[in-house]
C-alpha cells in the first residue's frame, strides 16, 4: 500500500478504537483466512460465576464450598475467584486448616495440602490422572458442561468431595462478530484449555466454525502455526497464556482490556474490547489494500 493509504488506514483505525502497530500488520490483516479465538475473556466475559454446587459422597454443600474457597484463594484462575466470591456471598468461611504446598498442574487444575491432606481442584482429566472415582458425579458434570458451564471437581485424599459448576457468559457481540466474519468468507476457530463439552456448548452459542478443546498453553501457539500454513491467521486473545500464539499468528489481535503481555505481543489492539472490531479491522485493511493497486 502507498504510505498515504497506510496513514489513512491507521488513522481511521485509531479513531475507531483499533490500534494498528505497524504498516505491515495493516496490510496482512486484509489477507486473513482464519481467525482463531481464545475462549475465556475473549469470546466470553472472562468473569465466571458459580451456578451450582453438587457435593458427593455425603459431604455437606457448605463443607465443599469451605474447602474449595480455601484452596482457590491461592489460585489466579478466573474460576478460582468465582468460587472465593461465591463462598463470601453465602457467608461460608474457608476451612481454617493451613493450605500449603500449592501447585498448579497445567491443563488440569491445582493441588495443595489442606491440614496435611491432599486436595485436588481441577477438571475431569485431573481426577482421572489421580484415580479419583467420579461415580455418578460424571452425569451431573456433563449436564453442566452441555449448558456451557465448567464443572470443577474437588477431591480430598483421593476421594471426590463434589463438583462446583462455574459459568462464564459469552460477550453480547461475540455471535454477531463471528457471523460477520463468516459472511466475509473467513473461517473461525476457538482454542481453549476447557473441556470438550463446555467448549462445544460455547461454540454453539457463539456460532463458531470449529473448536479445539483441552489445549495446553504451549499447544495454542503450535495450533496457530499449523493453521498458518494454510493461509493468513489472525489470533485474538487477552491472556498471558495467549501471548506466544499472538506473536506466532500472522496478525495477533489483543483485547484492550487484556493483560499487558497480550497487548505487547499483538499487532493490533482492540481498545473497545469489542469483537465486532475484528471484522472491522479486516475490512479496513481490505479497503487499504484496494487503494494500493
Ligand atoms: P483455560 O484458561 O482455557 O481454562 P487452563 O490451562 O488454565 O486453561 O485450565 C484448564 C482447565 O483446568 C480449566 O478449564 C479448569 O477446568 C481447570 N483448572 C485450572 N485452574 C483451576 C483451578 N484453580 N481450580 C479448578 N480447576 C482449575
Ligand atoms: Mg483468555
- Output the 3-class SS for 36-102: EEEHHHHHECCCCEEEEEEECCCCCHHHHHHHHHHHHCCCCCHHHHHHHHHHHHCCCCCCCCCEEEE
Last residue of a domain, one of 150, 167, 184: 167
pLDDT 10s digits, 171-180: 999 999 999 9
Mean pLDDT in residue range 215-225: 92
pLDDT 10s digits, 222-260: 999 999 999 999 999 999 999 999 999 999 999 999 999
* Average pLDDT across the chain, whole number: 96
Q: Looking at the structure, tell me whether residues 148 and 238 fall in a common domain.
A: no
State if residue 107 touches ligand 1 by the CB under 6 angstroms criterion.
Answer: yes
Give the count of domains, the chain. 2
Task: Give the pLDDT confidence score for residue 2 in this predicted structure.
Answer: 86
Q: Looking at the structure, tell me whether residues 59 and 35 fall in a common domain.
A: no
Residue 38: active-site member: yes
Q: Looking at the structure, tell me whether residues 233 and 158 fall in a common domain.
A: no
Q: Is 291 a residue whose pLDDT tops 80? A: no
Q: What percent of the chain has pLDDT over 90?
A: 93
Confidence of residue 292 (pLDDT cuts 50, 70, 90): low
Last residue of a domain, one of 167, 193, 222: 167
Q: Looking at the structure, tell me whether residues 197 and 247 fall in a common domain.
A: yes
Task: Give the pLDDT confidence score for residue 264 in this predicted structure.
Answer: 98
In this structure, the residue with its CA closest to atom 26 of ligand 1 is 122
Q: Looking at the structure, tell me whether residues 148 and 77 fall in a common domain.
A: yes
This prediction has a pTM of 0.93
Q: Is 19 a residue whose pLDDT tops 70? A: yes
- The one catalytic residue in 38, 242, 250, 277 is 38
Last residue of a domain, one of 167, 197, 221: 167
Q: Looking at the structure, tell me whether residues 115 and 35 fall in a common domain.
A: no
Q: Looking at the structure, tell me whether residues 162 and 63 fall in a common domain.
A: yes
The domain of 133 spans 49-167
CATH of the domain at 105: 3.40.1110.10
Task: Give the pLDDT confidence score for residue 217 in this predicted structure.
Answer: 80
Amino acid at each position: 500500500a502507498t504510505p498515504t493509504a497506510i496513514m489513512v488506514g491507521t488513522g481511521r483505525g485509531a479513531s475507531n478504537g483499533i490500534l494498528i502497530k505497524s504498516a505491515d500488520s495493516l496490510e496482512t490483516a486484509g489477507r486473513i483466512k482464519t481467525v482463531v479465538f481464545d475462549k475465556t475473556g475473549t469470546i466470553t466475559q472472562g468473569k465466571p460465576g458459580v451456578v451450582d454446587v453438587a457435593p458427593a459422597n455425603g459431604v455437606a454443600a457448605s463443607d465443599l464450598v469451605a474447602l474449595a474457597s480455601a484452596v482457590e484463594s491461592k489460585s489466579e484462575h478466573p474460576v478460582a475467584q468465582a468460587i472465593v466470591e461465591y463462598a463470601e456471598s453465602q457467608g461460608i468461611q474457608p476451612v481454617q486448616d493451613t493450605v500449603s504446598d500449592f501447585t498448579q498442574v497445567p491443563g488440569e487444575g491445582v493441588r495443595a495440602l489442606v491440614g496435611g491432606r491432599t486436595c485436588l481442584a481441577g477438571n475431569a482429566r485431573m481426577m482421572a490422572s489421580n484415580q479419583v472415582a467420579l461415580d455418578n458425579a460424571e452425569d451431573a458434570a456433563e449436564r453442566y458442561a452441555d449448558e456451557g458451564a465448567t464443572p470443577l471437581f474437588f477431591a480430598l485424599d483421593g476421594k471426590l468431595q463434589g463438583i462446583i459448576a462455574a459459568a462464564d457468559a459469552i460477550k453480547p457481540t461475540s455471535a454477531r462478530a463471528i457471523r460477520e466474519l463468516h459472511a466475509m468468507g473467513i473461517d473461525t476457530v476457538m482454542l481453549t484449555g476447557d473441556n470438550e463439552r463446555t467448549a462445544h456448548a460455547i461454540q454453539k452459542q457463539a456460532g463458531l466454525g470449529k473448536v479445539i478443546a483441552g489445549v495446553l498453553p504451549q499447544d495454542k501457539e503450535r495450533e496457530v502455526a499449523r493453521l498458518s500454513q494454510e493461509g493468513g491467521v489472525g489470533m485474538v486473545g487477552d491472556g498471558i497464556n495467549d501471548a506466544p500464539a499472538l506473536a506466532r499468528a500472522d496478525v495477533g489481535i489483543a483485547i484492550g482490556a487484556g493483560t499487558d503481555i497480550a497487548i505487547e505481543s499483538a499487532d493490533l489492539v482492540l481498545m473497545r474490547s469489542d469483537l465486532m472490531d475484528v471484522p472491522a479491522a479486516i475490512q479496513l485493511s481490505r479497503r487499504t489494500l484496494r487503494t494500493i493497486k
